[in-house]
Amino acid sequence: MSPLDETSARRPRVFSGIQPSGTLHLGNYLGAVKNWVAMQETHECVYCAVDLHAITVRQVRAELRRNTIDLVNLFLASGVDPERSIVFVQSHVPAHSELMWILNTITYMGELRRMTQFKDKTAGAEGESIAVGLFDYPVLMAADILLYRADAVPVGEDQKQHVELTRDLAERFNNAFGKAFVVPEPIIKEGGARVMSLDDPAKKMSKSAGSESSYIAVMDAPDVVRRKIRRAVTDSGSEVRGGPDKPSLTNLLDIYAALSGDAIADIEARYSGKGYADFKSDLAEVIVDALAPIQARIRELEADKSYTLGVLKTGAERAEAIAQRTLAKVRERVGLVPRP
């Protein structure tokens, strides 16, 4: 029996999503996808390319399509197993938008106005021309999570507030209308989960912040990886060690440790007495070796597009089955007449 069959003994379920909004990089892989792969051992997993979230910022049509498939290919190439986990595209399951509407009716303007991501994204913008979708973004995220009755939601620290809102909305609905939702817990991974920019260790690695050399793209060729690591900023001094006074080295050590599985202390010991250059050239090889099998698998998936589309077809069907069950209960609780 499939682990996702509703009648089998349930493992705790997780739901998580990533926006298909640009070039994929090492931060996406180490910060999220690698952890998603590991969670398949202990959880029932539902993983989603959240394209409806991506369009809260203007996208170029052809790029959005491409980015969505690329993101799904990264999931698959990294080891997300579509036999065990549900992998799908958010817009393929209309229940997300429908539940969002119902949740909108119990969400307060004030709580959305307090979301720090909304405040950051609209800082300096004229209130009159801020898109409603940007404001409502956290409610769509709550719908994503609640539809699948997820017990846990692995997210970065920056999304914790949105999961808190999701919990509040689940409890508010359950109290007002009768229980329909599981109240989910955030899972925030500490330590090496947060990959920082290669040219400014105070910023998160991202494709939008700063220059091309600030991030390692998943598809970067070996020589590009080597060049970017060689140019990555370092801290004053010459010792290869982490610590609050060494933010750049801490980031590079975190990347090394996360990809190699070695403990930071062991890596530091290995490079004691050696300089940054030795460490960096080895780090570049660690990254090149870690990316090689993922890149190879992505190329295979790109060569045969039908495999990914098949995964998404099955994924949407399985997601929809769960989502519809939740939505039916919600509609009943609210008092909407069932469609005859």
**Site residues for ligand TRP per CB under 6 A:** 15-17, 19, 50, 53, 141, 144-145, 153, 155, 159
In one-letter notation, the amino acid at residue 164 is E
Exposure letters 246-257 (e unless 16+ CB within 10 A, then b): bbbbbbbbbbbb
Q: Is 96 or 226 the residue whose CB approaches ligand TRP more closely?
A: 96
Minimum CB separation of residue 142 from ligand TRP in Å reads: 8
Specify whether 204 is catalytic.
yes
Q: Is 96 or 246 the residue whose CB approaches ligand TRP more closely?
A: 96
What φ, ψ does residue 123 adopt, rounded to 5°? Answer: -55, 125
Minimum CB separation of residue 145 from ligand TRP in Å reads: 5
Q: Which of 160, 189, 207, 329 does the annotation list as catalytic?
A: 207
Q: Which of 121, 160, 189, 329 does the annotation list as catalytic?
A: 121
Report CA torsion sign: 9, 14, 15, 17: negative
Q: Is 206 or 260 the residue whose CB approaches ligand TRP more closely?
A: 206
Specify whether 34 is catalytic.
no
Contacts with 142 (C-beta within 8 Å, 6 or more apart), sequence order: 100, 103, 162, 165, 166, 169, 170
Residue (of 229, 232, 241) closest to 283 by Cα position: 229
Report CA torsion sign: 208, 253, 192, 31: positive
Minimum CB separation of residue 54 from ligand TRP in Å reads: 9
Q: Which of 160, 189, 204, 329 does the annotation list as catalytic?
A: 204
Is residue 19 within 8 A of residue 47, CB to CB? The reply is: no
Sheet of strand 44-49: strand arrangement: 86-89, 44-49, 13-18, 152-155, 185-188
Residue number with the smallest Cβ distance to ligand TRP: 17
Question: Per the structure block, which two tokens stand in for 308?
Answer: 């990914």
Tell me the C-alpha distance between 261 and 259, whole Å.
6
Specify whether 203 is catalytic.
no
End-to-end Cα separation, the chain, in angstroms: 32
Q: Is 196 or 286 the residue whose CB approaches ligand TRP more closely?
A: 196
Residue (of 141, 139, 140) closest to 153 by Cα position: 141
Residue (of 29, 19, 75) closest to 225 by Cα position: 29
Q: Is 24 or 229 the residue whose CB approaches ligand TRP more closely?
A: 24
Q: Is 145 or 294 the residue whose CB approaches ligand TRP more closely?
A: 145
Q: Which positions are annotated as active-site residues?
A: 121, 204, 207
